[in-house]
Amino acid sequence: MQGVANLTDNQFGKRNVHHLFCVTCGIKLFAHGQGPTGPMVAIDVRCLDGIDLDTIDVQKFDRKNS
C-alpha cells in the first residue's frame, strides 16, 4: 500500500475507531474499528478519482448525537 508513512491515526471518544488522516494535507481518508453495531470501515470517497457522488447511496451519520 502506497502512502502509509504519510498517515496519522487519531481516536476520539471511546477510542473504538481509528481515524486515519494525511499528515501532508490533513484530510481524513478512512476509518476502521468497532462501530456501534460491530466491525466497521468508512472510506471518504471524495478522495478517489472518478467517483460521481450523485450515484452513491449515502448513509448519514450524526456524530454529534451518537
Handedness of CA 33, 14, 22, 63 (dihedral sign): positive
pLDDT for position 26: 87
10-residue stretch averages of pLDDT, the chain, 66 residues long: 81 87 88 88 88 84 68
| Domains of the chain as residue ranges with CATH | 4-55 (2.170.150.70)
In whole angstroms, what separates CA 31 from the centre of its chain? 4
pLDDT for position 62: 72
Phi, psi of 6 (to 5 degrees): -95, 10
pLDDT for position 66: 61
Name the residue among 58, 62, 28, 61 with its Cα closest to residue 43.
28
